[in-house]
Amino acid sequence: GAGVSQTPSNKVTEKGKYVELRCDPISGHTALYWYRQSLGQGPEFLIYFQGTGAADDSGLPNDRFFAVRPEGSVSTLKIQRTERGDSAVYLCASSSSTGPGNSPLHFGNGTRLTVT
């Protein structure tokens, strides 16, 4: 694909429900990142994958959040028992190298999650 693809673009769910957000990175990019952007704020780091493994998950806010990348390409961010405070735009990015200082991150357009 031409860029990072995120689906769905919008997701509305009820408090307490489970949601999955999908990210399809640029082909060949080994590094994949998830960020969360609340209204009026900059993106906040959640988790980073190098290949299939999570290299750094220190940004996940609690154990309701989980992400996988089983084949080293597509990644899914999973949120259990959603809360209204989870409402935000969830951004995915990929890069061809292991550090933002070495190669640029390419961001998708994000999934806007609204928890009612």
Partner 1 sequence: GNSVTQMEGPVTLSEEAFLTINCTYTATGYPSLFWYVQYPGEGLQLLLKATKADDKGSNKGFEATYRKETTSFHLEKGSVQVSDSAVYFCALSITGGGNKLTFGTGTQLKVEL
Q: How far apart are CA 19 and CA 27, in angstroms?
A: 25
Q: 18-37 mask for partner 1 (x: CB under 8 A)?
A: -------------x-x-x--
| Token pair for 106 | 């390419």
Per rule CB under 8 A, is residue 99 in the interface with partner 1? yes
Which residues, numbered 40-59, are part of the site for partner 1 (CB under 8 A)?
40-45, 48, 55-56, 58-59
User: Looking at beta carbons only, is 45 or 66 nearer to partner 1?
Assistant: 45
* 61: Cβ contacts below 8 Å, ≥ 6 apart: 46
Greatest pairwise CA separation for the chain in angstroms:
40
Strand partners, 33: 48, 93
User: Looking at beta carbons only, is 24 or 82 nearer to partner 1?
Assistant: 24
At 11, which helix (H) or strand (E)?
A: strand 10-13
Residues that bind partner 1 (CB under 8 A): 3-4, 31, 33, 35, 40-45, 48, 55-56, 58-59, 91, 93, 98-101, 104-110
